[in-house]
Structure formats: C-alpha cells, structure tokens
Copies of this chain bind each other. A is one copy, B any other.
Amino acid sequence: MAKENSQPFEKGEINPYSEFFTGETHLNMLVKKDDVFNSSIGNVTFEKGARTNWHKHSGGQILLVTMGVGRYQERNKEIQELKKGDVVKIPPNVEHWHGAAPNSEFAHISIETNIPNNVTTWLDKVSDNEYK
C-alpha cells in the first residue's frame, strides 16, 4: 500500500536553486530544455513550511499538484490553499510564490510555458509574516 502522501515521481536531488527558496526543497528535472520539445518540466517537493521566494516568469508557468497541501499567492491577493489534483495557471509576469502548508509535505509538477521565451526573475523572500 502506498502512503497517503506518496507522489508518483522521485524527489530527486536537493534543489540546486535553494538560494531562492525558504526551507528544504528537492528538484527532479523530468524534462530539460532543448530545441526539440521546447519544454522544461520539473517535480518539486517541499518539506513542511518550505516555499519559493517571490518570483515571476516572463512566459508563465503551470503547476500540477501531485501530493499534500500547499499554498499559492499572487502579489496583492489572498493566499490560496492547494491540494493534490489542483492545477494552477500562473500568467506571464505575475509576481507570486508557492510552497507547502505549515503542517504538510507538498509536491507539484512545474511546467514552464512559452519556451524559449521564458525568463524567471527571483525576488525577495516570503517572510514568516507574509507566510503566516
């Protein structure tokens, strides 16, 4: 029997972009950018309370939630709760962050859209006050 919060994809390595995250995260790059598929697809796993910095993608991003309970917020909007099976469509250039809930591991597939015209800009940390 699989555990309640098991996910389909391996956690992979310690996130090489950890400087742009708070807390412990893992990254498993499922599809790396190339000129044939023009795709960049990763599986990101967040420990309890871990989250991205504020950031934006010039070409947008899609998240497919595969495990646990998480949070998503766009600048100047309310925090949304995310759960397994949810899909988040993040429009180009919208500042946002995503991560785990305080008491749950969380994982999503991350799909960069409109490659090769998609640049990620990392911004400030999500403070404990913003995270709540």
Residue ranges of A at the interface with B (Cβ–Cβ < 8 Å) = 1-4, 6-10, 30-31, 36-39, 41, 60, 62, 64-67, 84-85, 87, 89, 91-92, 109, 111, 113-114
Residues of B within 8 A of A38 (CB): 113-114
**Closest chain B residue to A31, Cβ basis:** B62
Known interface pairs A60-B36, A64-B109; A89-B9 also in contact (CB < 8 Å): no
A89 and B10 contacting across the interface, CB-CB below 8 Å: no
**Closest chain B residue to A5, Cβ basis:** B2
Residues of B within 8 A of A37 (CB): 60, 62, 89, 113-114
Residues of B within 8 A of A3 (CB): 1-2
